[in-house]
Amino acid sequence: MSKIVEVGPAGYMPQSAPSMGVELAPEGSALLYGNTVTPEEAMRDAAIALLTRKNPTIFPGPQVLWDWKEDVAEKSAAILDLASEIPNCKIIPMPDYRPKYPKIDVKAEINPNHPNLTILDNRIEACIFVGVHCHYANLTLRMIRAGTNCYTVALCAYMGHEEAMASIRDLHASDIAKFKEIVIEERNKLGIKWETTLPPENPSLPKEDNSTLSPADYGEYRSLIMTKKGEHITDSE
Among the residue ranges 108-112, 141-145, 176-180, 206-210, the one predicted with the least confidence is: 206-210
Q: Of 176, 94, 178, nearest to 136 (Cα)?
A: 94
Q: How far is CA 166 from CA 65, 108, 126, 133, 228, in A?
A: 22, 24, 11, 17, 45
Q: Does 152 map to a domain?
A: yes
Q: Using 50, 70 and 90 to split pLDDT, how confident is the model at 13?
A: confident
Q: Of 48, 128, 115, 46, nearest to 83 (Cα)?
A: 128
Helix (H) or strand (E) holding 184: helix 173-189
Q: Does 10 map to a domain?
A: no
**What is the tens place of the pLDDT at every residue in 81-103?**
999 999 999 999 888 887 777 67
Q: Does 155 map to a domain?
A: yes
Q: Does 154 map to a domain?
A: yes
Reduce the secondary structure of 188-229 to three states and give it as a string: HHCCCCCCCCCCCCCCCCCCCCHHHCCHHHHHHHHHHCCCCC
Q: By the 8 A CB rule, do 71 and 172 touch?
A: yes
pLDDT of residue 104: 79
Residue 51 has pLDDT above 90, yes or no: yes
pLDDT of residue 233: 54
Range of the domain at 153: 28-189
User: What does the pLDDT average to over 180-197?
Assistant: 95
Residue 80 has pLDDT above 90, yes or no: yes
Q: Using 50, 70 and 90 to split pLDDT, how confident is the model at 226?
A: low
Residue 235 has pLDDT above 90, yes or no: no
- Top pLDDT among 178 and 232 is at 178
User: What does the pLDDT average to over 36-65?
Assistant: 96
Domain count, the chain: 1
Task: Report CA torsion sign: 68, 216, 114, 82.
Answer: negative
Q: Does 18 map to a domain?
A: no
pLDDT of residue 232: 57
Q: Does 19 map to a domain?
A: no
Q: By the 8 A CB rule, do 197 and 81 touch?
A: no
Q: Does 225 map to a domain?
A: no
Q: Does 229 map to a domain?
A: no
Residue 237 has pLDDT above 60, yes or no: no
CATH of the domain at 146: 3.40.50.1220
Task: Report CA torsion sign: 32, 35, 40, 44.
Answer: negative
Average pLDDT, the chain: 88
Q: pTM for the whole thing?
A: 0.83
CA angle 74, 75, 81 (to 5 degrees): 95
